[in-house]
């Protein structure tokens, strides 16, 4: 099997002009789509039992993980097994202990890469482990919530609580499901179980002009096709265009010393925007695989249209056209935001925004640039919310004023995001300071001035 997989990798690498690790990922996702359609047609809940669907999803996931990462798969199995033992033992505050242990395991791999392969973007088992940490902690906190009364829980926690410890088969199937194991995104345990049991496709009753009603069911074909075409489009952008705008160009001496301020900002915007394309490829691949298997349906609109955003991890249009920093953040890595909101933001009583951004930075790794991005983002988000609350209502009419205000806030929001993402890409503090110095530290200076001089919203209203 390894020799067969190597041949598949070689073909993918030569066909798309990709590095071996990225070719490995693309090959696994293309094969996952085939397995997904087999699952949809051959392992429908109408044809086989729940256990058979669990076994198929788990087996294919572990098969693909082994083909891609060989014996590194032990890292994934170890986290899964140890966490399940803690679930069964129900030790005091087991959900927090599980989060700490899985994060410690993930952090050890991040540190290993940082020490021995600094700045490397090679795809290895760390990626799937990041998704697994999310899933394991979701089960831990959901199972813990299951011991509380509904009136003691928030609507979000009540929605995803787990009553009764999951079976080992269901637990491992959820963690190793081939649907999003390789690229994400994460999804909630209860949503997956409903899908496996065949309870996720809710019919919709439609009445025609004669008053006769009929029932229609959601179709996964168009959602799959749209996701897969998105993969092709963003794949083209990644391979042909993104490489033409390297972020390191921003720290070349001629650029630092001679380029205009606005030229640097425009280039920073272009390279950070195009950098997102590779994430769009990965996440849209995860959507495509899930949709091919029939997973991802989230409900019906008022007009009777089926929606498939249960595993959607990015809202591309909202992100690229958003006029507030909050909209940009909420449109990016959506399922990770849902995870952070579920286990941190809604449970942490003191300054949940800073706590959420800190955990997010640790989950990504320990490069200094990550902390500049996430801590800076948390502070900028707090300030932008305050500014919007104070002044936005003054610019809602007439239409041309609102249009000008939207253009202004779009520029500010994307200039802020670009400033932050450059740090995420440069990684090293010395390189980050070089670039920030060349653009006069515009974002932190403006942020500090706003913190110092913006009035309190309550006092301003008075």
Catalytic residues: 333, 364
Do 133 and 363 contact (CB within 8 A), yes or no?
yes
SS3 149: coil
Both tokens assigned to 240 = 């042909």
Q: Which residues pair with 292 in a beta bridge?
A: none
Measured between alpha carbons, how far is 63 from 176 in angstroms, rounded to an integer?
A: 10
Helices H, strands E: what count in the chain? 21, 4
Using CA atoms, how far residue 253 sits from 249, 258, 425, 437, in Å, is 9, 8, 18, 13
Q: Which residues pair with 206 in a beta bridge?
A: 214
Question: Considering Cα of 361, then 364, then 368, then 373, what sign does the dihedral take?
Answer: negative
DSSP 8-state secondary structure symbol assigned to residue 455: P
Q: 299-300 and 306-307: which strand pairing?
A: antiparallel
Measured between alpha carbons, how far is 189 from 200 in angstroms, rounded to an integer?
A: 13
Measured between alpha carbons, how far is 316 from 175 in angstroms, rounded to an integer?
A: 27
CA-derived radius of gyration, the chain: 23
Tell me the DSSP string of 297-339. --EE-TTS-EE--TT--B-HHHHHH-SSHHHHHHTBSHHHHHH
Phi-psi region of 198 (alpha: psi -120 to 50; beta: other; left: phi over 0): left
Burial call 31-53: b when 16+ CB within 10 Å, e when fewer: bbbebbbebbeebebeeeeeeeb
- For 208, the enclosing helix (H) or strand (E) is none
In degrees rounded to 5, what are phi and psi of residue 218?
-65, 145
Measured between alpha carbons, how far is 358 from 364 in angstroms, rounded to an integer?
A: 10
DSSP 8-state secondary structure symbol assigned to residue 122: -
Measured between alpha carbons, how far is 190 from 196 in angstroms, rounded to an integer?
A: 10
Query: Which residues have a Cβ under 8 Å from the Cβ of 144 and sit 6 or more positions away?
Result: 94, 95
């Amino acid at each position: 099997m390894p020799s067969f997989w190597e041949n598949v990798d070689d073909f993918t690498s030569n066909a798309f002009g990709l590095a071996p690790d990225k070719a490995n990922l693309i090959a696994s996702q293309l094969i996952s789509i085939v397995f997904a359609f087999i699952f949809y047609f051959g392992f429908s809940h109408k044809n086989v039992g729940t256990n058979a669907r669990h076994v198929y999803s788990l087996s294919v996931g572990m098969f693909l993980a082994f083909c891609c990462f060989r014996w590194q798969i032990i890292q994934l199995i170890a986290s899964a097994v140890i966490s399940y033992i803690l679930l069964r033992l129900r030790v005091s505050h087991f959900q927090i202990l599980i989060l700490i242990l899985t994060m410690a395991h993930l952090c050890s791999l991040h540190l290993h890469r940082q020490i021995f392969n600094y700045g490397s973007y090679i795809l290895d088992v760390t990626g799937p482990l990041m998704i697994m940490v999310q899933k394991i902690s979701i089960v831990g906190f959901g199972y813990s919530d299951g011991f509380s009364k509904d009136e003691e829980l928030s609507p979000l926690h009540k929605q995803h609580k787990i009553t009764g410890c999951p079976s080992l088969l269901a637990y491992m199937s959820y963690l190793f499901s081939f649907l999003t194991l390789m690229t994400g995104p994460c999804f909630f345990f209860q949503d997956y179980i409903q899908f496996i049991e065949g309870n996720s496709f809710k019919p919709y009753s439609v009445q025609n002009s004669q008053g006769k009603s009929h029932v229609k069911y959601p179709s996964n074909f168009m959602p799959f096709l749209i996701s897969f075409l998105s993969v092709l489009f963003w794949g083209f952008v990644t391979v042909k265009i993104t490489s033409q705008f390297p972020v390191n160009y921003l720290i070349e001496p001629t650029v630092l010393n001679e380029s205009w301020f606005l030229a640097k900002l425009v280039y920073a915007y272009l390279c950070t925007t195009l950098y997102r394309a590779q994430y769009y490829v990965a996440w849209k691949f995860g959507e495509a695989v899930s949709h091919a298997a029939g997973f991802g349906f989230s409900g019906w609109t008022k007009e009777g249209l089926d929606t498939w955003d249960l595993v959607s991890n990015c809202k591309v249009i909202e992100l690229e056209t958003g006029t507030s920093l909050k909209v940009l953040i909420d449109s990016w890595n959506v399922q990770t935001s849902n995870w952070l909101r579920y286990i941190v933001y809604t449970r942490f009583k003191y300054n949940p925004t800073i706590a959420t951004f800190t955990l997010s930075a640790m989950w990504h790794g320990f490069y200094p640039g990550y902390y500049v991005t996430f801590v800076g983002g948390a502070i900028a988000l707090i300030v932008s919310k305050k500014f919007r609350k104070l002044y936005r209502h003054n610019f809602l009419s007439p239409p041309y004023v609102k249009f000008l205000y939207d253009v202004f806030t779009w520029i500010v929001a994307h200039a802020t995001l670009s400033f932050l993402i450059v740090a995420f890409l440069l990684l090293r503090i010395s390189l980050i300071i070089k670039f920030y110095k060349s653009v006069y530290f515009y974002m932190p200076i403006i942020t500090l001035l706003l913190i110092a001089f913006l009035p309190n919203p309550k006092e301003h209203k008075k």
